[in-house]
């Protein structure tokens, strides 16, 4: 991926969510992982990168081109990307298959036949073929999250944004979803992932960015950031979360 942030600022009322962020992520990075304390700015940054919100100052560049913040440009940008957030966001009155098909038809202008084929392929990729006609309430949490991932992947996204995708899951289901995400990283899918799973971040990331208080505190390869962090803030955080 080729992404650059220049002096990005974002406010929510009096809250300064992102503070003059500068970041360069260049090839051959395929998996960028955001870590840091809750409230540090990870989710806000994910939403800006996905074009779901606009910064109040600064520029985002993709492939060395500034992402204009008009609605038409942002809409085109959103359609190139797949999204998975902390909650499953499945429509409860639709089957797994229908949940995957809907955005293909309504957002990506696929015919019903094309959507059916793409949905079947995506569900099969995540071992969900036998659950295609079930409603979300009939699925486990892990299965629901796999359906959500299938929906995000069905559009064949340029970039897949995963915002703490295991936060609502128990340990067994968390392991199940992490295995699915790892398979996506191995397939070459470009991913930006925020997570509190430090071991997983260390295993799959090409680059890790640590955010706290709306600032990028440290960026580097996982072997460097986890083994020899330069910042005392990062050292203290990792000592706490990786103690047990």
Instruction: Tell me whether residue 230 is in a domain.
Output: yes
Q: What is the pLDDT of residue 85?
A: 77
Please, what is the average pLDDT of the chain?
A: 93
Q: Which of 157, 181, 205 is the last residue of a domain?
A: 157
CATH number at residue 4: 3.40.50.300
Share of the chain above pLDDT 90, in %: 83
Q: What is the pLDDT of residue 40?
A: 95
Segment 53-71 mean pLDDT:
96
Instruction: Tell me whether residue 94 is in a domain.
Output: yes
Residues 74 and 151 in one domain: no
Residues 174 and 231 in one domain: yes
Instruction: Tell me whether residue 143 is in a domain.
Output: yes
Instruction: Tell me whether residue 85 is in a domain.
Output: no
Residues 171 and 146 in one domain: no
CA distance 158 to 139: 28
Residues 31 and 132 in one domain: no
Strand bridging mode 3-12 / 15-25:
antiparallel
- The tally of domains found in the chain comes to 2
Token representation of residue 178: 């992490």
Give pLDDT tens digits for 24-59: 999 889 999 999 999 999 999 999 999 999 999 999
Q: What is the pLDDT of residue 229?
A: 96
Q: Which of 104, 130, 157 is the last residue of a domain?
A: 157
Give pLDDT tens digits for 86-137: 777 899 999 999 999 999 999 999 999 999 999 999 999 999 999 999 999 9
Segment 143-168 mean pLDDT:
91
Residues 61 and 165 in one domain: yes
Residues 167 and 117 in one domain: no
CA distance 172 to 168: 12
Q: How confident is the model at residue 170 (pLDDT cuts 50, 70, 90)?
A: confident
Residue 199's domain comprises 1-80+159-244
Q: How confident is the model at residue 167 (pLDDT cuts 50, 70, 90)?
A: confident
Share of the chain above pLDDT 70, in %: 99
Pick the closest to residue 152 from 63, 53, 85, 67 (CA basis): 85
Q: Which of 108, 141, 157 is the last residue of a domain?
A: 157
Residues 48 and 165 in one domain: yes
């Amino acid at each position: 991926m080729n992404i650059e942030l220049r002096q990005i600022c974002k406010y929510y009322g009096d809250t300064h969510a992102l503070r003059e962020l500068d970041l360069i992520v260049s090839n051959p990075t395929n998996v960028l992982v955001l870590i840091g304390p809750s409230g540090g700015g990870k989710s806000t940054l994910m939403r800006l990168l996905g074009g779901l919100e606009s910064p109040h100052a600064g520029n985002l560049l993709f492939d060395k081109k500034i992402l204009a913040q008009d609605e038409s440009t942002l809409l085109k940008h959103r359609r190139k990307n797949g999204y998975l957030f902390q909650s499953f966001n499945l429509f409860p009155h639709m089957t797994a298959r229908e949940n995957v098909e809907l955005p293909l038809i309504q957002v990506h202008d696929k015919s019903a036949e094309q959507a059916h084929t793409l949905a079947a392929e995506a569900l099969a990729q995540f071992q969900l073929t036998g659950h295609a006609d079930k409603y979300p309430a009939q699925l486990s949490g892990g299965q629901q999250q796999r359906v959500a991932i299938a929906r995000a992947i069905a559009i064949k996204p340029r970039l897949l944004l995963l915002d703490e995708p295991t936060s609502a899951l128990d340990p067994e289901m968390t392991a199940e979803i992490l295995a699915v995400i790892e398979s996506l990283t191995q397939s070459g899918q470009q991913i930006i992932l925020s997570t509190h799973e430090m071991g997983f971040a260390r295993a799959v990331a090409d680059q890790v960015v640590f955010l706290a208080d709306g600032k990028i505190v440290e960026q580097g390869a996982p072997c460097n950031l986890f083994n020899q962090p330069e910042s005392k803030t990062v050292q203290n955080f990792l000592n706490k979360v990786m103690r047990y």
